[in-house]
Copies of this chain bind each other. A is one copy, B any other.
Amino acid sequence: MAENISTEKKASDRGEERMGALVKRMRSQGQRVTPQRLALVRAFLAHEDHPSAEMLHRELREKFPTMALSTVYNTLHLLKELGAAVEVSPTTVETRYDPDTGDHCHLVCVECHRLIDLPLEACVHERGLQELAEEHHFTPVRQVHQIYGHCADCTAQSS
């Protein structure tokens, strides 16, 4: 529990540090900073894990009983555009969002859909995979390395 408290503080601090810049960018883009968005962004950035829209919705309901799920999605999409959130799709279940936008990879449980962070340096090297998995008591079934971006045709079309 003592560990949890310090972890929580770190996450909150990280969040508060990013709030200012984020809010500034929202305003500069003509996006309105509503109380709902403020609370949503603050809650999201404070996460050390990978919450889904539904999870955030449940969490925010306490302060905003009328908060609609569509508002949560709306804000998460905004954060994605601002580069402050990364979508992670464990399998075919709810999309999960990662407040840590640095390059890194995840161990994904195909049963409970838990996501476990791994530093990028650790996972780009094939040889280290087995040891890493064992460290986390994780039994790899398959690995997927996807690079999202724009293909030649789409880049050409939107020019």
Contacts and interface: CB of A to CB of B under 8 A. Distances in A.
Classify chain A: how many residues form its interface, as a range: 35 or more
Nearest to A86: B142
B148 A140 contact: yes
A124 B120 CA distance: 10
A132 to B, nearest CB: 8
B140 A149 contact: yes
A147 interface: yes
Contact of A146 (B126, B146, B149, B153): B146
Copies in the complex: 2
A146 B106 contact: yes
Contacts of A124: 124-126, 145
A115 B126 CA distance: 22
A3 interface: no
B139 A108 contact: no
B91 A89 contact: yes
A143 B146 contact: yes
Interface-central residue, A95, A126, A151, by most chain B CB under 10 Å: A151
Interface of A: 86-89, 91-92, 95, 103, 105-112, 114, 116, 118, 120, 123-126, 129, 133, 136-155, 158
